[in-house]
């Protein structure tokens, strides 16, 4: 959810942003850094989070030595898994019918803090996608259902949010909230109600012994027969799973804002919990760039990156053929400092060859073994609004159409000036009772219609470069050079329109002057004709230069493509006999970098073209006045 900036010092942020060669965006809505805490989903700030990825706080010590990353977690998958194994058979069968079975059988994935932080810095809050040199990328509903096994079809996770959940918590859970106006339940009390009072490892206790002890404790405390007590146990467990894993917050207490949906346990399985997970994760990624943590189910981001960007080298495959796909990967542990890891990931993202990106990693999957995939298929590949109570965010699938095997479409990229504005903190459920099924009726109707199908065409990258071309790395490699080339082509096309219009106006002015009885009657027309002729000449000169620059960039791109391929073949065996060739290639790279440095000058030419466009407008106004005077004469 929406959060404040993280601690760690502005100096660390300057080093981080100053040294990263990547696409750079300034956040206009960024808040000054205050604390590392984040507003809990529906109400108040809470302390350390179970499912929060958070690097060590003191970033200023980075230069002094390696920084250790940490996952501030007091409740992991091990505890949830142990309680799940301790549930009676009828409870596990019920959870299976609800659609939570595949998710609850997942093994714990070690958090890749550096990868998550690097991806967070690439998040574009306007488009709700990751902004990368080759275009937009984003986890989709298909990624969610394949990686986690959670349901993405059905009813949206929404309803009423209240100023206080005290009465409901006492009635359904027989517990107490942390404060009167709160939706947070103390984690320890929730664990105790499930039989796990002490989740700490004991001295000399192995992992198998630890899990066996927790499972035995849970089994001894849980009701063995169906009835009111068993229903209460199941609600306790679901609140734990949903509040700390699926919709994990940055606080240690457990949020129970989904409790109204658990009152009727027969309806729990009809909700799209996977879509709510994605909405909650998008909302967390949209916090300030100074915020170093990501609330929500971060393993989705890890495995998504492992599948789509394998050449970054952060994940190691395991258990081929296992489903859901999260079980196929493990984190390749890196002992380098967190800051160093983040910088290396950014460098890798900037230099990934386009052909190494796995746009459609699920081709060939055996969907017959994944019934949750078949149920969610009608929602795949569509632009749709995602809901999670007061969080309503768009999934712009048309910006990532390549994940469907299509060309990404040329679209007018979304901006913050859209029909739905997310409510501010004063409307997050703590100030007033809100019925979100009424307040966001239009977005709910969109979900019920299953959104709209994403379309495509051939010219996506030109539109992408036009929007972000000035932010692309001019020192980069092929992808950045392509961005500069397409941006130059767009500038050329825009300037061509200006030249054509100026020529038309000049011809019109010359005809008017030629048709006048005497230039002595209207000397202003001769001056206007001269100004138009001068503007046309300058515009044509700039257009010629842009065309020359385009050709130079095409030549440089072809040279760099060939050079990159040759260097990739030789990268692992730089023999002495090849040293001379390597020097020549290095010189070629230096020459290209010098050429790329000239891109700035050509952008200035583009600004000149824009100035000429404005000047042409003024001249058209004067010409209209002169034409009117001529008609009057």
pLDDT at 484: 62
Whether the pLDDT of residue 571 is over 90: the answer is no
pLDDT at 471: 56
- Identify the residue with better confidence: 13 or 91: 91
Least confident range from 53-57, 102-106, 174-178: namely 53-57
Q: How confident is the model at residue 6 (pLDDT cuts 50, 70, 90)?
A: very low
Over residues 301-318, mean pLDDT: 93
Do residues 44 and 184 make contact, with C-beta atoms less than 8 angstroms apart?
A: yes
pLDDT at 504: 81
Q: How confident is the model at residue 36 (pLDDT cuts 50, 70, 90)?
A: very low
Least confident range from 25-34, 113-122, 605-614: namely 25-34
pLDDT at 40: 35
Least confident range from 93-107, 160-174, 420-434: namely 420-434
Q: How confident is the model at residue 511 (pLDDT cuts 50, 70, 90)?
A: confident
Whether the pLDDT of residue 266 is over 80: the answer is yes
- Which of 286-290, 298-302, 626-630 is modeled with the greatest confidence? 298-302
Rounded-to-integer distance, Cα 388 and Cα 386, Å = 7
Whether the pLDDT of residue 358 is over 80: the answer is yes
pLDDT at 580: 63
Over residues 302-306, mean pLDDT: 96
- Identify the residue with better confidence: 602 or 191: 191
**Residue 450, CA distances (Å) to 155, 374, 444, 557 in order:** 11, 15, 10, 42
pLDDT at 541: 81
The residues that bridge with 131 in the sheet, in sequence order, are 136
Whether the pLDDT of residue 64 is over 80: the answer is no
Q: What is the mean pLDDT of the chain?
A: 77
Whether the pLDDT of residue 308 is over 90: the answer is yes
Whether the pLDDT of residue 160 is over 80: the answer is yes
pLDDT at 1: 38
Rounded-to-integer distance, Cα 12 and Cα 207, Å = 37
Asked if residue 324 has a cis previous peptide bond (ω within 30° of 0), the answer is yes
pLDDT at 97: 95
For 130, list phi and psi in degrees, rounded to 5.
-80, 135
Rounded-to-integer distance, Cα 299 and Cα 513, Å = 73
Burial classification of residue 365, based on how many CB atoms lie within 10 Å of its CB (0-12 exposed, 13-18 middle, 19 or more buried): middle
Whether the pLDDT of residue 595 is over 50: the answer is yes
- Which of 325-334, 504-513, 610-619 is modeled with the greatest confidence? 325-334
Whether the pLDDT of residue 414 is over 60: the answer is yes
The residues that bridge with 331 in the sheet, in sequence order, are 315
Whether the pLDDT of residue 11 is over 70: the answer is no
pLDDT at 48: 35
pLDDT at 46: 37
The residues that bridge with 434 in the sheet, in sequence order, are 161
pLDDT at 55: 46
Rounded-to-integer distance, Cα 251 and Cα 447, Å = 30
pLDDT at 39: 33
Least confident range from 21-25, 243-247, 476-480, 495-499: namely 21-25
**Listed residue (285, 341, 354) closest to 313, CA to CA:** 341
pLDDT at 236: 96
Whether the pLDDT of residue 5 is over 50: the answer is no
Rounded-to-integer distance, Cα 246 and Cα 41, Å = 13
Least confident range from 61-70, 118-127, 359-368, 491-500: namely 61-70
Rounded-to-integer distance, Cα 192 and Cα 186, Å = 10
pLDDT at 325: 95
Over residues 548-577, mean pLDDT: 65
Whether the pLDDT of residue 630 is over 60: the answer is yes
Whether the pLDDT of residue 426 is over 50: the answer is no
pLDDT at 286: 81
Do residues 270 and 151 make contact, with C-beta atoms less than 8 angstroms apart?
A: no
Token pair 């990263």: residue: 20
Q: What element of type H or E holds 193?
A: helix 187-193
pLDDT at 226: 92
Q: How confident is the model at residue 422 (pLDDT cuts 50, 70, 90)?
A: low
Over residues 390-407, mean pLDDT: 88
Phi-psi region of 10 (alpha: psi -120 to 50; beta: other; left: phi over 0): alpha
Over residues 172-178, mean pLDDT: 88
pLDDT at 269: 95
Dump strand ranges (E) for 426-506: 434-435, 452-453
What whole-number percentage of the chain has pLDDT above 70?
A: 72
Over residues 262-284, mean pLDDT: 95
């Amino acid at each position: 959810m929406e959060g404040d900036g993280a601690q760690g010092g502005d100096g660390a942020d300057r080093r981080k942003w100053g040294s990263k060669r990547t696409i750079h965006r300034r956040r206009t809505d960024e808040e000054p850094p205050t604390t590392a805490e984040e507003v809990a989903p529906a109400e108040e700030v809470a302390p350390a989070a179970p499912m929060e990825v958070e690097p060590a706080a003191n970033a200023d010590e980075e230069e002094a030595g390696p920084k250790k990353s940490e996952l501030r977690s007091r409740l992991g998958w091990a505890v949830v898994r142990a309680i799940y194994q301790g549930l009676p058979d009828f409870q596990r069968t019920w959870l299976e019918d609800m659609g939570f079975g595949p998710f609850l059988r997942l093994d714990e994935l070690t958090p890749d803090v550096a990868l998550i932080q690097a991806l967070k810095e690439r998040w574009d809050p306007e488009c709700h996608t990751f902004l990368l040199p080759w275009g937009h990328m984003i986890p989709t509903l298909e990624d969610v259902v394949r990686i986690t096994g959670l349901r993405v079809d059905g009813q949206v996770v929404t309803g009423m949010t209240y100023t206080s959940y005290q009465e409901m918590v006492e009635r359904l859970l027989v517990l107490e909230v942390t404060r009167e106006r709160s939706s947070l339940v103390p984690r320890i009390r929730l664990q105790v109600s499930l039989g796990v009072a002490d989740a700490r490892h004991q001295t000399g206790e192995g992992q198998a012994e630890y899990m066996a002890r927790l499972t035995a404790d849970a089994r001894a405390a849980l009701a063995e027969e169906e009835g009111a007590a068993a229903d209460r146990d199941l609600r306790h467990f679901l609140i734990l799973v949903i509040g700390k894993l699926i919709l994990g917050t940055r606080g240690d207490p457990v949020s129970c804002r989904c409790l109204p949906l658990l009152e009727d346990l027969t309806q729990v399985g009809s909700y799209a919990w996977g879509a709510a997970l994605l909405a909650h994760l998008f909302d967390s990624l949209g916090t300030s760039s100074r915020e170093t943590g990501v609330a929500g189910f971060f393993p989705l981001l890890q495995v998504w990156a492992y599948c789509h960007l394998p050449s970054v080298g952060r994940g190691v495959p395991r258990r081929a053929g296992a489903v859901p796909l999260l079980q196929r990967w493990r984190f390749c542990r890196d002992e380098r400092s967190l800051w160093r890891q983040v910088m290396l990931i950014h460098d890798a993202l900037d230099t990934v060859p386009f052909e190494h990106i796995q746009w459609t990693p699920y081709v060939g999957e055996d969907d017959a073994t994944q019934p949750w995939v078949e149920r969610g298929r009608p929602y795949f590949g569509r632009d749709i609004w995602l809901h999670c109570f007061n969080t309503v965010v768009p999934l712009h699938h048309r910006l990532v159409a390549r994940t469907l095997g299509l060309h990404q479409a040329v679209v007018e990229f979304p901006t913050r000036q859209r029909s739905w504005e997310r409510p501010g903190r004063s409307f997050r459920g703590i100030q007033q009772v809100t019925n979100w099924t009424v307040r966001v009726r239009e977005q709910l109707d969109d979900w019920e219609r299953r959104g709209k199908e994403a379309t495509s065409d051939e010219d996506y990258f030109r539109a992408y470069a036009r929007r972000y071309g000035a932010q692309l790395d001019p020192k980069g490699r092929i992808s950045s050079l392509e961005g500069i080339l397409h941006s130059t082509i767009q500038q050329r096309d825009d300037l061509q329109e200006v030249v054509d219009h100026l020529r038309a106006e000049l011809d019109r002015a010359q005809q008017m002057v030629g048709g006048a009885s005497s230039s002595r009657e209207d000397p202003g027309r001769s001056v206007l004709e001269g100004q138009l002729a001068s503007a046309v000449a300058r515009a044509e000169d700039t257009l010629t230069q842009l065309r020359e620059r385009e050709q130079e960039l095409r030549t440089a791109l072809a040279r760099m493509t060939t050079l990159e391929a040759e260097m990739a073949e030789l990268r692992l065996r730089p023999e002495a006999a090849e040293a001379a060739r390597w020097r020549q290639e290095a010189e070629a790279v230096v020459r290209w970098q010098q050429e790329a440095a000239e891109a700035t000058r050509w952008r200035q030419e583009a600004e000149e073209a824009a100035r000429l466009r404005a000047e042409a407008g003024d001249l058209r106004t004067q010409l209209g006045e002169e034409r009117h005077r001529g008609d009057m004469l």
